[in-house]
Structure 1
């Protein structure tokens, strides 16, 4: 039996509890949140971060805090010998990500990330070999509605140091990560338009991204539309692939791909299955590995480095 703790019991923490609680061989030994009302009546033991760190029976910790305080807690868990599952976005900066990866390696623990949509990729595209789509043309559209108050009202989502971004970092990040899994290392981010609800908290953004393999991605991510859509298309020289709202289509190595959408909860369960198998020595930590987040973290660094741009009218000289 593997004992698990969940630190942070907001939306993400509840999703982790649902995924882990449905798995055989897992006990949710502790749930931590600073708001007593959040954990009232959840049916799992409630404690503190300190109690999690001190409990040698707890092997795995899911850290579901906002990005601001998350890195320090992840680091403390690693140093206490706990394997970790980090919520997205995986880190505030590339430097923080590298620190967490090094700290986990030094402590001899596994570091994973809850990018469950990676498990929607067909097996043939999971190996992280960007040569397949060298020079590809890719497009991404993500529309996830949030009212203006979601990012502008008091709270961590409106604070740059706490939130580390807006709709791109918290909602667009899943499919941006998929683009990096397929295309490899981003080397340039060119901002076309950006709209912020608060300083550095974006609610609509369009950009183009150049990758080391010569691929180009054009992306539009918005919280301003009522439409819900996540659509990534990659057109390579011989292979093509698209993931639209979780349903996969394409042709790779001459073989057609047509896979239906799977529920997000099922995909989160896939993350937990891979992590728990790795913890038990029954398989590698591969698709869920935190180290596979370098690409998307570099991309987010590129977005954050660029302020809002003034609009230029067509015909202006």
Structure 2
């Protein structure tokens, strides 16, 4: 099947393009970007021009930042093409609800790549039937390393530290036996920015979270949970699993996550189905609604 990739930035070049080039299901037939290109693939600066030039492209994957994404997504669905969304699926929940209403006769897939990490399914299976007594999420990384010069991520709609933090929430909402909800939040906003650079969350079931975009040195992507039948820990963004402090087989790599997303997208298209789970985004929206704001030192790349 032929697919087009929209938004040829860092995540597209690091993950989406390699996944598509190796995919048994997809052929990358076109790209849309203001500046990025993929060698050997026709590139366009405008999504409408791409859609008009490639009626044989049945699916489009959007890797644009959240704020400008809706207009492109709307164009794809109105053209009758299947649509795959990089996380988060939109700048607002209402945007995604609108896309769901438009997706008639085509597949709409809101992806959460961290749910495809090696040990997430195993963690979900182990937790099934157990009662979670408490836990902590530590999701701390260096914005300058992972998002160099990407000012949009700290502007309104860019989500700030929740851009990576929503990965942790996507894992948590996938593995817990019972739904979780936000009880309190504290957000640190740089004096010169509109989105938080750090956040601390209090969730139900005794779970707390520490999210920070200012981590120097080793990066931390950990989820630790206590249950009525032992402890579970996911390290390296869900790729390494520990039960009662003992390591379980895993891999220190995310390179399988995006191939798994495109395999899932292919399955949805063949089934004529859609998959849009907004639980992680609801928690983020609740944090912006309920959270106390702290103004902290200005931040510049």
Same fold (TM over 0.5): yes
Map of 2:280 onto structure 1 = 296
Distance 1:197 1:134 in 2: 41
Q: 1:117 aligns with which of 114, 119, 124?
A: 114
Map of 1:308 onto structure 2 = 293
TM-score normalised to structure 2 length: 0.83
Alpha-carbon shift at residue 46 of structure 1 (Å)? 0.6
Residues 267 and 159 (structure 1), Cα distance of their counterparts in 2 relative to 1, 3 Å cut: same
Q: Does the alignment pair 1:52 with 2:50?
A: yes
Distance 2:267 2:195 in 1: 37
Q: 1:261 aligns with which of 251, 262, 283?
A: 251
Alpha-carbon shift at residue 242 of structure 1 (Å)? 1.9
Q: 1:166 aligns with which of 138, 154, 160?
A: 160
Contact 2:20 2:262 survives alignment (8 Å) = yes
Distance 1:299 1:204 in 2: 15
Distance 2:143 2:120 in 1: 30
Q: Does the alignment pair 1:278 with 2:268?
A: yes
Distance 1:309 1:197 in 2: 9
Q: Does the alignment pair 1:182 with 2:165?
A: no
Contact 2:62 2:86 survives alignment (8 Å) = yes
Alpha-carbon shift at residue 247 of structure 1 (Å)? 0.6
Distance 1:23 1:185 in 2: 34
Distance 1:154 1:178 in 2: 25
Distance 2:112 2:60 in 1: 16
Alpha-carbon shift at residue 277 of structure 1 (Å)? 2.4
* 1:72-91 alignment runs, 5 A limit: 72-91=71-90
Alpha-carbon shift at residue 9 of structure 1 (Å)? 0.5
Map of 1:208 onto structure 2 = 202
Map of 2:240 onto structure 1 = 247
Distance 1:59 1:19 in 2: 18
Q: Any unmatched runs of 5+ in structure 2?
A: 297-301
Residues 238 and 181 (structure 1), Cα distance of their counterparts in 2 relative to 1, 3 Å cut: same
Contact 2:225 2:231 survives alignment (8 Å) = yes
Aligned pair count? 285
TM-score normalised to structure 1 length: 0.79
Contact 2:187 2:196 survives alignment (8 Å) = no
Residues 154 and 6 (structure 1), Cα distance of their counterparts in 2 relative to 1, 3 Å cut: closer
Alpha-carbon shift at residue 11 of structure 1 (Å)? 1.1
Contact 2:8 2:32 survives alignment (8 Å) = yes
Q: Aligned to 2:256, what secondary structure does the other structure show?
A: helix
Alpha-carbon shift at residue 197 of structure 1 (Å)? 5.8
Map of 2:140 onto structure 1 = 143
